[in-house]
Chains A and B, each alone.
Chain A
């Protein structure tokens, strides 16, 4: 397989709702910015991979068809990927494989979502219909008719974890402190949806229940409208582009993915409800492929759908022991970006987790959220000269889809 690098990235501003733009414009904006960043024209891009999660959000069953010409990809191969919350990750995996295989030298991977045009006429607000649109990802025979939603199914997994490892994610002070840190990160991201917000531990604990007793309003990710694009290139092409841009390539050193069974249960291949096995297996595969250990990695952009899930994910990814993920806060492992200069790398025993503000403060435009994470991870690795980074994605019922990607800053490392 050929070596693959990231040579450009661009995202739109993350907004609760874009009145000024449809997803056509958002995808074009992200593409435009990624091309500007990589100093390439669309002529140099051999193909495109689209990450779009849910047709109902876009209100079109082949949403990528209307984008093709608008983003300069006319007459080129285009593949759309949709894999729930992990759509962005899987789209990038597809783009990486396309370059690694030698089929293409330079691939655009662009993902996004336009979620909040949905509207619930009874409550006269968007949110219940947005939740319902996501809930349509559950089967119509057993789960959806019971009222399953993304929040309740992620919380079911969190509660299973809490039953098995009590006293870890159940401390609302620990979770609220993580939210506070993510808020400080979001404040530093000029594209973050909640960059102006200031959320304190007390506010988190006083916010309303969404799913009792583990999820309050301020512990959940947002619904975002936006798009993100990454340009992947082969080694030769990446080095050539790096000459032009003066930015070092960020290599995909290892990538791993795993999807668990839809049905939870005991033993066999059933999904264990007290763990995120998909995260663990995906991470192990990525580390294997990269030949690195979690302790080699100082920056993580993880898919934080919910803060309790982020804690478990950090355990499954191998950064803290399962059952003792609260050490992230108790032992000061999770850095507050306020305590670090913008060009400073984390020290020993410290981790920079979701410096973008994550999906909770940065943004969660489902089909492109993991591109958003990748955009941030690359940016921070270059600015802070951090040699290795990890990007993570999760999705689907009870967190059964998982992906992880180890990034490596080019040895030159020059800005």
Chain B
């Protein structure tokens, strides 16, 4: 990764002011805390792994093969077999497809370095399926059906290995960006449920207007998102540390979410979770970008409740 000229090496939002602030301990006493960081830059060598990554650059997936135990190690982390007294291993070409060794976990709550990346699936792919002994290739798993969700990446699933946009690689041949949205089934029950959901969301929007914590949750975010449900459509607008609900699909919406059952929005207001709805599939999202707003919205019911409770005290 190259850092563009004139830009700081760390993202601007990492550049906290260097300061010493006061913080109250559990004992009621005042303590000091200082803002600091621990960052190291690297020009890290790939060393013996270079061969594997150079092959990848050329569109080849290679493994290390041991002629004694017949094992295949991929990625080729060593060229001397640890099972056979460090016998010399040879390079073999592996197919660009394999079988998911075991059902893959989906990360919903990522680490700081991967905020914005969730949800994502990381799994192990058995590519040297012919070998009697073989390592699994650690892989990021993607789907052409929208968000990564449980039930997609199950044990035994055949996965084409998309090795970035290099021929004869497959990533560029797959369309990850325009998944087909699911159809909703409209009926009167859902229409009534939507009415209830909109009333609940508007009540929450009003509470946000009185909640410092909730406004802090929304600060700096600006979104207009359409929602298509079995009870009708509405839009969520986030601006100026507030949110509002507009009936119908607003022109200029960034994207449209789909939920056959609008009741998930009522549940959200009552401390449910839109994030969970997305993971469980009751709320369909076209892409990861659409996911990023959900954890923020999920915080609002709790934040408003805490502020209202504090106010009562």
On A, residues with C-beta under 8 Å from B are: 15, 19-20, 56, 59, 117, 119-123, 127-129, 131-132, 134-135, 140-143, 146-149, 151-152, 155-156, 159-160, 162-163, 208-215, 263-270, 273-274
Contacts and interface: CB of A to CB of B under 8 A. Distances in A.
A286 to B, nearest CB: 26
A274 B103 CA distance: 10
Interface stretch (B26-34, B173-181, B184-192, B257-265): B26-34
B15 to A, nearest CB: 8
B310 interface: no
30 contacts: A56-B38, A117-B33, A128-B111, A131-B112, A141-B46, A146-B140, A147-B107, A147-B117, A148-B138, A149-B107, A151-B107, A152-B105, A156-B105, A159-B104, A159-B105, A160-B101, A160-B155, A208-B109, A209-B109, A209-B276, A211-B107, A264-B124, A264-B136, A265-B133, A265-B135, A267-B71, A268-B71, A268-B83, A268-B133, A273-B102
B69 A208 contact: no
Interface string B75-95: 101000011000000000000
A19 B275 contact: no
B105 A263 contact: no
Contact of B23 (A19, A119, A147, A212): A19
Interface string B131-153: 01111101110000000011000
B115 A265 contact: no
B113 A132 contact: yes
Interface of B: 11, 13-14, 16, 23-27, 29, 31, 33, 35-36, 38, 44, 46, 49, 69, 71, 73, 75, 77, 82-83, 101-115, 117, 119-120, 122-124, 126, 132-136, 138-140, 149-150, 154-155, 273, 275-276, 279-280, 298
B26 A20 contact: yes
Contact of B108 (A19, A123, A143, A209): A209
Given A146-B140, A270-B133, A273-B102, A156 B111 contact: no
Contacts of A156: 102, 104-105, 122-124
A274 B102 CA distance: 8
A264 B38 CA distance: 31
B13 to A, nearest CB: 5
A270 B69 CA distance: 13
A18 B165 CA distance: 48
Contact of A142 (B29, B138, B150, B275): B138
A19 B33 CA distance: 8
B276 A146 contact: no
Given A147-B140, A149-B111, A212-B106, 16 more contacts: A19-B33, A20-B25, A20-B26, A122-B112, A123-B112, A128-B115, A141-B49, A146-B138, A160-B102, A210-B108, A210-B109, A212-B105, A212-B279, A264-B136, A266-B126, A273-B101
A20 B28 CA distance: 10
Contacts of A274: 102
B24 A19 contact: yes
A131 B117 CA distance: 15
Given A20-B26, A265-B134, A146 B113 contact: no
A147 B120 contact: yes
Contact of B102 (A151, A163, A268): A163
Contacts of A142: 75, 138
Nearest to B100: A163
A264 B112 contact: no
Contacts of A132: 111-113
Given A19-B26, A160-B102, A211-B106, A263 B111 contact: no
Nearest to B135: A265
A208 B276 contact: yes
Contact of B135 (A117, A212, A264): A264
Contacts of A211: 105-109
Nearest to B298: A208
B35 to A, nearest CB: 8
A266 B133 contact: yes
Nearest to A140: B44
Contacts of B104: 156, 159
Contact of B103 (A122, A143, A162, A263): A162
B105 A269 contact: no
A267 B33 CA distance: 51
A253 to B, nearest CB: 33
B197 to A, nearest CB: 19
Contacts of A263: 73, 77, 135-136
